[in-house]
Amino acid sequence: MGLLGNNFTRWMGLKAAKQRKDEASRRDSDIGRQLKLEKEKAKKTFKILLVGAGGSGKSTIIKQMGIVYPNALSEDERSQMTRINESSFELDSIKVQILDVDIQEPRRKKWLNCFEDVGYMIFVAALSNYDQHTAEGHNAMHDEMMLFDSLANDEQFKHKPIIVFLNKLDVFEKKIAVSPLSEYFTDFNGPDTNSCAAATYFADQFRGINKTRNREIHIYYTTANDPKMLQVTTASVHHMIIQENWRSAGL
């Protein structure tokens, strides 16, 4: 081939190697930019874990949020032991993801580790369950309190701020007049027909379950099928999210 031919072949090889190196460098830069964008996006995303016993009305709350925030997106992930319904919407410049989780007791400890990056937990309890019984014969509200205890005081969530929706207030107000609370919760001092005193009693019960000192427990009385009440509640949630972001930024 001769000296000229050998030099040309060598030059072409070096050029091809440089092109491959430049291409790899460009790919690395693209990946780096994408990771940076995803990281910035994650900073603007606030995750909330939504949990509650069956019949608490939390699925209705999610539906109402879809009405309050028409741009909400929803995705389901289903398996034999767990169901996750993820809804996301925008609050100003903040993307909020609500992870609605249903899971059977045997797997609870395992799935809790999957949600360490959530900012808040929302727990939904039905006030109207105070005089109801489960299939096992337990008081339904006692079961809701036990579930709250197992979640709120779990190592994974014991330092997370918690929002408690004491739901189905409208049904509760009607029932309390004919079904005395003290018959089911003997430490309630009454008066039995005073729905305000009864609702406050349950708010105090849920606050008392919390074992983490100085942890924020925000209590809201809700009627899940009333969009106006839910809108006011969500506005308060928005305010708390902003406060949490300020705290995270050291402000």
Backbone angles phi, psi at 127, to 5 degrees: -55, -35
Instruction: Read off the pTM.
Output: 0.72
Contact 212, 158 (CB under 8 A): yes
Highest mean pLDDT pick, 3-7, 18-22, 90-94: 18-22
Count the residues in the chain.
251
pLDDT of 141: 93
For residue 212, the 8-state DSSP code is S
From the annotation, which residues make up the binding site for GTP? Answer: 100-104, 167-170, 224
Cα–Cα distance for residue pair 221/229, rounded to 1 Å = 9
Question: Nearest Cα to 226, choosing from 68, 26, 18?
Answer: 68
From the annotation, which residues make up the binding site? Answer: 100-104, 167-170, 224
Q: What is the mean pLDDT of residues 104-127?
A: 72
Give per-residue pLDDT as tens, 55-64.
787 777 777 7
Give per-residue pLDDT as tens, 172-195.
999 998 999 999 999 998 788 899
pLDDT of 77: 47
